[in-house]
Amino acid sequence: MTSSSVYSSVRQPVFARQGMVATSQPLAAQVGLHVLRGGGNAVDAAIATAAALTVVEPTSNGIGSDLFALVWDGGELHGLNASGRSPARLTRDALGGQDMPTHGWLPVTVPGTPRGWADLHARFGRLPFAQLMEGAVHYARSGYPLSPVLAENWARGIRAHRARTGPEFDHWRHVFAPQGFTARPGELWHSPEHADTLERIGRSGAADFYDGELARRVAAHARDTGGLLDLDDLGGHTSEWVQPISAAYGEHRLWEIPPNGQGLAALIALGIVNGLTLPDHRDDPAGLHAQIEAMKLGFADAHRYVADPQHSAVPVDALLSPAYLSARRALIGEQALDPQAGDPNSHGTVYLAAADRDGQMVSLIQSNYMGFGSGVVVPGTGIALQNRGHNFSMQAGHPNEIAPRKRPYHTIIPGFLTRADQPVGPFGVMGGFMQPQGHLQVTLNTVRYGLNPQQALDAPRWQWTGGKTVEVEHELGAVQARALQARGHDVQVQLNPNAFGRGQIIWRDPRTGVLVGGSESRTDGQVAAY
């Protein structure tokens, strides 16, 4: 990896040996580091960091989120799908003929995050589970000052919420926009309700959230304000340990959680690119064109086939087979294509990476979706419920068609990189449908172009948004943008850095055990290490 600065950044990669946590909020990173220094392992640190993120970055996740994780235990990679299912009463008839809304009760699915924390801890944790909630409880009860990007996103959320009416939205204002509070950098915010709920989760190993007082409060609020979620939905929730899936690029492999997550899109794209000869310069328009076209094909297939595998068979092996990838690769020419799915049988999210001195590493992502989520907050609990059901398809017969007790197509995906069956480390790029695109770009930045973790994150990004439209950051340059236009791409310069996701990386040197981390320069994040 190169040592000099390639892209403008105020950050340098962080090196350490004993332990490291990288995430989008410095206070949460410090919570994880405190756990590592107190004898916890990487999983303990990840859980503590994740819990803290529900408090110090509620604009992107919360206690009512979903979670996915990849854990390298020192010899093997494990996957956890802690995403929730739709309520048993969610049917087309329940929508009353309308499309799935973005906010309110209808898109709310069972939150999987609390049980995900407990399941990770039961299998890999070292410290008492309740102890891992302490940092989050501290910031919820004592308060903390808003960081700059957090404040900007919070203010945007408050403006959006003003247009929502109905009793289900009332408590959101009480918690996130209380009297006298202004979302600006340095403003103090606290939530005793969050603190009490996190303590209940800690004492009960998350059981209270699904079968106890917290579950009863969630179900009561749904009953009283028009929601479909009930005690049976909550009590029936389980996480699922899954076998990670992967695609190769040279000696490296990119690993993802299998569907219902969209990591498959990144793997298809990487598998297509693996058969191409990319130019030596990262920003060469020919290489950018090839990556964009591969990503479009990956998305076309993901949107056609990704669904809850317990409801619809997802042809993962066929989509990643050499023959299918070769056929998709052959579609890439000199001009931009309008992608269609093939036939293989013929926005608010937080991410964290953690690593300890014994070689355990964690890639974890959790999200409410669309910033604060559904806009529904359960009174007296601080629980902001996600709106993941918005990603169900309304198309009859589609694998991801809306149905009861079903997991929707999920945007959040943790990533992990290996080389020759040995771990390189965890990484992720959050941000809705930017995530597979970020995974592809960061992987190639690392394995093809030799950038260190900070450079791999700082490098200007592109994002396909549909059809032939590609958004690019202005740092990519006018020459590259014009060259992509000449190839038929509808290039739009996007000045909002939030549109291109927010990433974290930790790589481990297999020879020395030294950790090197990078944290997204587009947000408030930090690599905390010792």
Span 265-287, pLDDT tens digits: 999 999 999 999 999 999 999 99
| CA–CA dist 266, 457 (Å, integer) | 17
Give me the amino acid identity at 444.
Answer: L
- For residue 313, give both structure tokens: 């068979």
pLDDT higher than 60, residue 236: yes
Mean pLDDT over each residue of the chain, to the nearest integer: 94
Nearest to 352 by CA among 14, 55, 68, 40: 68
pLDDT higher than 50, residue 346: no
State the pLDDT at residue 461: 95
pLDDT higher than 90, residue 190: yes
Backbone angles phi, psi at 62, to 5 degrees: -170, -175
Q: Output the CA torsion sign for 315, 320, 322, 326.
A: positive
State the pLDDT at residue 4: 44
The pLDDT confidence band at residue 469, using thresholds 50, 70 and 90, is very high
Please tell me the number of Cα atoms within 13 Å of 88 on its side-chain side: 8
State the pLDDT at residue 498: 80
Summarize the confidence of residues 112-131 as an average pLDDT. Answer: 98
State the pLDDT at residue 3: 41
State the pLDDT at residue 340: 79
Span 3-53, pLDDT tens digits: 444 555 578 999 999 999 999 999 999 999 999 999 999 999 999 999 999
Contact between 316 and 266 under an 8 Å Cβ cutoff? The reply is no
pLDDT higher than 70, residue 1: no
Nearest to 505 by CA among 5, 34, 149, 15: 15
pLDDT higher than 50, residue 338: yes
The alpha carbon torsion through 512, 13, 471, 163 (nearest 10 deg) reads: 110
| CA–CA dist 292, 357 (Å, integer) | 38
Nearest to 265 by CA among 413, 376, 138: 413
Nearest to 461 by CA among 476, 449, 480: 476
State the pLDDT at residue 348: 66
Span 476-512, pLDDT tens digits: 989 999 999 999 999 999 988 888 999 999 999 999 9
Summarize the confidence of residues 160-164 as an average pLDDT. Answer: 91
- The DSSP output letter for 375 is S
Summarize the confidence of residues 411-416 as an average pLDDT. Answer: 95
State the pLDDT at residue 470: 94
Answer with the residue of higher pLDDT: 327 or 346.
Answer: 327
% of the chain beyond a pLDDT of 70? 97
Nearest to 202 by CA among 360, 44, 40: 44
| CA–CA dist 363, 43 (Å, integer) | 9
Per residue, what are the HEC states of 258-322?
CCCECHHHHHHHHHHHCCCCCCCCCCCHHHHHHHHHHHHHHHHHHHHHCCCCCCCCCCHHHHCCH
Q: Lowest-confidence range among 8-17, 244-253, 509-518?
A: 8-17
| CA–CA dist 440, 463 (Å, integer) | 11
State the pLDDT at residue 231: 98
> Residue 138, exposed/middle/buried by CB under 10 A (0-12, 13-18, 19+)?
middle
Domain range annotation of the chain? 1-530
